[in-house]
Chains A and B, each alone.
Chain A
């Protein structure tokens, strides 16, 4: 143990490190940092989302009454349609619109590309949650985990389409090239959605019609249940917005890292070389089995 922690003198073998790199003035642009307002907004939305979700859970599980027909199963109504709304309309709608705005020459900016990417990624998570919560609901009510019902099928196809989008994004490429490619794929997928919707609809239908967003916009459930349902929609929308903001920020950082990775590594290596030159000793890295801090103090 102690051997690993002792300092080793720099002999000939270790001086192989002083770098052949000329000490050039590599300037690494600082990573993009969001403004204080942006940080505050993100935090506020996150907090609201947390409170809203907690309130929905409390109302949904304890305050609202069980349903006459479905019993406690009805409590899934506070989650499932909200998640589906976020995934199918909000996230993928936003992705389609921002992809279109990216392709439109006048509004072309990497902002739209990152926004679309973030929306799809969060949308895919919500889409999976939709399918899972639907499955959990379907088993006791329909008797099966999965039915080849129209809405289930088109939701699943949508998931596959956007998984393809994410797979395409993972292919290394210049940011502009990747952005254009992804925007085209998102656009083609978006155009296909209504066609898939109709085709699958004619193919098979047994899903219950929309409860809240039905044609005349008069909810067909009442009282505390309707309010909880509404709160669930708001809370999940906030969760989506929060995740979107965080994902966008990470996306911007990723792009920055991809652009500056080499420069960063060079600067680090140079700093290493400078460190060797100055002190003449290098600390061996601690071994995999870390000892207690007291041991270390003893060695030092």
Chain B
């Protein structure tokens, strides 16, 4: 399973390395979103700094949808998904591999957006490790759920419109938890403010990773 996962993740990341879709389209889209949020909230820096955690995570969610769309469309042409199934790769490994590839791209995006939030909104971060941990856990959760829904919707002609509708409400706890942890980290409060949210993220990640590992095979047959 782990070897298959590494193979699939390597394949997806290599495709990204050559096509640069995430880097040249999704990342700029994230920056555009940050700028638009700034326009919407006005030039008052205090408001923007206050809203920064939420805006960061909303931008990340939107980018996740795009990254998942890309991750699915890579498999949809030239019978690639059939080829993957024929290759005898363990479905659990395939799931983990796809999720890892998405997560890796999201981490890069988040680093970029994080810098953007600090620079553009003047967000001041007191406890950096909490930010890092929340980003890692949140990314795992988004990649885990996103890959599941991506696979479910992969055969649909209406995928582009249906995927965000299905995925974003499911990912609402990640947005809530991520935002609260960021707020705690920016206020410089004690880490205990964020721990229950970190625990929630851990549960969310574990639940959806487990579902994906167990059910990805049957889900693939559905698509």
Residue contact A180 to B207, C-beta cutoff 8 Å: no
CB distance from A48 to the nearest CB of B (A): 36
- A226 CB-CB contact with B under 8 Å: no
Interface with B: A28-36, A196-204, A279-287, which one? A196-204
CB distance from B165 to the nearest CB of A (A): 5
Give chain A's interface secondary structure class. helix
Residue contact A180 to B169, C-beta cutoff 8 Å: no
A202 contacts which chain B residues (CB < 8 A)? 180, 196-197, 200
B196 contacts which chain A residues (CB < 8 A)? 202
Binary flags per residue of B177-221, CB closer than 8 Å to A gives 1, else 0: 100100000000000000011001001100110010001001101
Please provide the chain A residues from 10 to 35 with a CB less than 8 Å away from any CB of chain B in the complex.
none
B118 contacts which chain A residues (CB < 8 A)? none
Instruction: With A171-B162, A180-B218, A184-B219 as known contacts, state yes or no: A199 contacts B177, CB within 8 Å.
Output: yes
* Residue in contact with B170 in the complex, picked from A168, A192, A199, CB distance below 8 Å: A192
Scoring B149, B152, B166, B219 by chain A CB atoms within 10 A of each residue's CB, the highest score goes to B166
Instruction: With A177-B222, A181-B222, A202-B196 as known contacts, state yes or no: A164 contacts B211, CB within 8 Å.
Output: no
Instruction: With A160-B169, A161-B169, A171-B158 as known contacts, state yes or no: A200 contacts B222, CB within 8 Å.
Output: no
* Residue in contact with B203 in the complex, picked from A167, A171, A195, CB distance below 8 Å: A195
* Residue in contact with A168 in the complex, picked from B166, B173, B200, B211, CB distance below 8 Å: B166
- A109 CB-CB contact with B under 8 Å: no
Please provide the chain A residues from 145 to 163 with a CB less than 8 Å away from any CB of chain B in the complex.
157, 160-161, 163
Alpha-carbon gap, A164 to B162, bound state (A): 8
**Least CB separation from B165: chain A residue:** A164
Residue contact A164 to B197, C-beta cutoff 8 Å: no
B165 contacts which chain A residues (CB < 8 A)? 163-164, 167
B5 contacts which chain A residues (CB < 8 A)? none
* Residue in contact with B222 in the complex, picked from A161, A164, A184, A188, CB distance below 8 Å: A184
Instruction: With A157-B172, A184-B219 as known contacts, state yes or no: A195 contacts B211, CB within 8 Å.
Output: no
Alpha-carbon gap, A177 to B155, bound state (A): 10
Residue contact A203 to B180, C-beta cutoff 8 Å: yes
- B148 CB-CB contact with A under 8 Å: yes
CB distance from B207 to the nearest CB of A (A): 6
Instruction: With A198-B200, A199-B200, A202-B196 as known contacts, state yes or no: A167 contacts B162, CB within 8 Å.
Output: yes
A199 contacts which chain B residues (CB < 8 A)? 172-173, 176-177, 197, 200
Residue contact A171 to B207, C-beta cutoff 8 Å: no
- B133 CB-CB contact with A under 8 Å: no
A side interface size, CB within 8 A: 26
Please provide the chain A residues from 162 to 215 with a CB less than 8 Å away from any CB of chain B in the complex.
163-164, 167-168, 171, 177, 180-181, 184-185, 187-189, 191-192, 195-196, 198-200, 202-203
- B132 CB-CB contact with A under 8 Å: no
Please provide the chain A residues from 219 to 236 with a CB less than 8 Å away from any CB of chain B in the complex.
none
CB distance from B177 to the nearest CB of A (A): 6
Instruction: With A177-B222, A184-B152, A203-B176 as known contacts, state yes or no: A195 contacts B200, CB within 8 Å.
Output: yes
- B111 CB-CB contact with A under 8 Å: no
Residue contact B172 to A196, C-beta cutoff 8 Å: yes
**Least CB separation from B204: chain A residue:** A195
- B156 CB-CB contact with A under 8 Å: yes
Residue contact B162 to A168, C-beta cutoff 8 Å: yes
A103 contacts which chain B residues (CB < 8 A)? 218
B180 contacts which chain A residues (CB < 8 A)? 202-203
Scoring B148, B165, B180 by chain A CB atoms within 10 A of each residue's CB, the highest score goes to B165
Alpha-carbon gap, A206 to B121, bound state (A): 31
Alpha-carbon gap, A272 to B148, bound state (A): 50
Scoring A103, A177, A184, A185 by chain B CB atoms within 10 A of each residue's CB, the highest score goes to A184
A184 contacts which chain B residues (CB < 8 A)? 152, 215, 218-219, 222
A191 contacts which chain B residues (CB < 8 A)? 207-208, 211
> Interface residues, chain B, CB within 8 Å of chain A?
145, 148-149, 152, 156-158, 162, 165-166, 169-170, 172-173, 176-177, 180, 196-197, 200, 203-204, 207-208, 211, 215, 218-219, 221-222
Beyond the given pairs A177-B222, A180-B221, A184-B222, 12 more chain A to chain B contacts, judged by CB atoms under 8 angstroms and listed by A's residue number, are A157-B169, A157-B172, A164-B169, A167-B166, A171-B157, A181-B222, A184-B219, A188-B149, A188-B170, A199-B197, A200-B176, A202-B197
> Interface residues, chain A, CB within 8 Å of chain B?
103, 157, 160-161, 163-164, 167-168, 171, 177, 180-181, 184-185, 187-189, 191-192, 195-196, 198-200, 202-203
CB<8 Å pairs between A and B, sample of 5: A164-B166, A181-B222, A195-B203, A199-B173, A199-B176
For the complex of A and B, 9 pairs with smallest distance between CB atoms: A199-B173, A160-B169, A164-B166, A180-B222, A199-B176, A195-B173, A161-B169, A164-B165, A192-B170
